[in-house]
Structure 1
Amino acid sequence: MPAFSGWPPEALTFLADLEAHNDREWFKANRARYDEACVLPTTALGEALSDLGTPKLFRPWNDQRFRPGPPIKEHLGLAVGYEGAGGWYVQLSIDGLFLAAGLHNPKPDQVTRLRAAIDDGRKAAALTRALAVARAAGLALNDPDLLRVPRGYDSDHPRAELLRRKSLTVSATMPIAKWLHRPAAYDHIREPLDAAAPMVTWLRRHVGPSQSGAR
């Protein structure tokens, strides 16, 4: 596997063509383009980021049983480190490069532990510092999921804004630029992901993976 040196311009050309011809037959006829221009460099990026956790390149097929829409995903999605609680995510589309990290779509037991840790002043202080590092790197915190603090917490809680979140993520979208096609792409990606690392570490320590169904 060659080292990651950015995505070739053909990757974006392919994604633009896919948006115009999104059907399974077209994709099958153009699968070699997808594998060479999209899969190979994204897999190489995953290997370059594997010190953060196990990389996973998402399959191109949309599950149309539950989500109506085009049959093929019009982006490349790479998750890293989600075997624990929280991880990192990289997504390339013709709209730009989306970078994210944190805990997305947690299970109920994880939400319970997240709220308890936010309620704990000592534990929450470390989270506040971690979020400050992420924000300084240009990553924005996700919007609250709830209009009010959850039941059992005071409405004037000092961390009410954080308690209103079920998911806890930071993200940024970078516009398409020439560096995407060069080795410098790795540093542009790695620096924000590293800035989110203290938050991911906090989530793994204080929330952890879901215990639902565990024996």
Structure 2
Amino acid sequence: MTRAFSGWTEQAFELLLQLEGTPSQEAREKRRKDRERLVRQPMIALLNDVADADQAYEDFSVWGFRKDPWWWQHQVAVIRIARNVEIGLRFDLDGLRIKGGWSYPDPGQVPLFRTAVAAQGSGPELVRAIEALGAQGYEITGDTMKRMPRGHDAGHPRADLLRYRSVSAARPLGGDCAQHTSALVDAVLRAAQELEPLLSWLAGHVTVPGSRRRPA
């Protein structure tokens, strides 16, 4: 199958370099059309190719422009797996980075997470998923409480995880050369498979019954 995505060009990196620092609104607007063509449209093509390869990843959004210069310097996209469980992609001067996990929880999701973490069956399953990702070079991050949540023992074997209110795993994708080729499609698909145990656990244990995915 012919792919729509062929990589980001050197011109895309040059344009992002021009947007470094705190460019004025006038300077940003001057580059709007080129940024759309060179930076945002390739991200759309990339995610269309990923969705064509696996329909599980067809619910995606590619962010447009916002007032803050950061959004001009980084092209962000998300693939929705379940409510607040997503794969995030970010392209900037450092290349493409992938992040998968659970964030911005709804009311009720955090207690569900902690119940599943504390349970004898599901808790160790999450530990294994996170440890496997760490061994593959993923950085594990999340919003954590400084103290143990009420109702949970500080001596629990998964006490550290019980303090989490969100959890994600992230790593860069491809080397410098891969940014300019369609090989990034395969890199995203491989990473999505690596993230699948974590994402499936979160979708199965953190999703509030009857809730929907976060709207675009």
Mean CA deviation greater in 160-169 or 173-182: 173-182
Counterpart mapping for 1:111-190 below 5 A: 111-143=110-142, 145-174=144-173, 177-190=176-189
Partner residue, 1:65:
none
How far did 1:90 drift? Answer: 0.8
Q: Where do 5+ consecutive residues of structure 2 fail to align?
A: 212-216
Partner residue, 1:25:
26
How far did 1:112 drift? Answer: 1.2
Mean CA deviation greater in 127-136 or 177-186: 127-136
Alpha-carbon displacement from aligned partner over 1:152-185 (angstroms, at most 9, x marks no partner): 1001011001111101111113586111001212
Write the distance in 1 (CA, Å) between the matches of 2:75 and 2:204.
29
Matched, 1:200 2:199: yes
Alpha-carbon displacement from aligned partner over 1:170-212 (angstroms, at most 9, x marks no partner): 1113586111001212223332222011111111111115878
Instruction: Specify the SS of the correspondent of 2:73.
Output: coil
TM-score by length of 1: 0.85
Change (3 A) 1:22 1:88: same
Partner residue, 1:49:
50
Write the distance in 1 (CA, Å) between the matches of 2:26 and 2:82.
34
Partner residue, 1:40:
41
Change (3 A) 1:136 1:191: farther
**In the alignment, residue 32 of structure 1 is paired with which amino acid?**
K
Write the distance in 2 (CA, Å) between the matches of 1:24 and 1:162.
43
Instruction: Specify the SS of the correspondent of 1:44.
Output: helix
Write the distance in 1 (CA, Å) between the matches of 2:139 and 2:38.
30
Instruction: Specify the SS of the correspondent of 2:169.
Output: strand
Matched, 1:104 2:97: no
- Conserved 8 A contact 1:23-1:71: no
Q: Where do 5+ consecutive residues of structure 1 fail to align?
A: 63-68
CA root-mean-square deviation: 2.6
**In the alignment, residue 181 of structure 1 is paired with which amino acid?**
H
- Conserved 8 A contact 1:15-1:93: yes
Change (3 A) 1:134 1:72: closer
Write the distance in 2 (CA, Å) between the matches of 1:53 and 1:158.
38
Write the distance in 2 (CA, Å) between the matches of 1:30 and 1:70.
12
How far did 1:146 drift? Answer: 1.6
**In the alignment, residue 25 of structure 2 is paired with which amino acid?**
R
Write the distance in 1 (CA, Å) between the matches of 2:195 and 2:34.
33
Partner residue, 1:59:
64
Q: Percent identity?
A: 26
How far did 1:72 drift? Answer: 4.5
- Conserved 8 A contact 1:22-1:72: no
Number of equivalenced pairs: 207
Write the distance in 2 (CA, Å) between the matches of 1:75 and 1:210.
34
Change (3 A) 1:189 1:31: same
Partner residue, 1:66:
none
- Conserved 8 A contact 1:49-1:80: no
Write the distance in 1 (CA, Å) between the matches of 2:32 and 2:80.
27
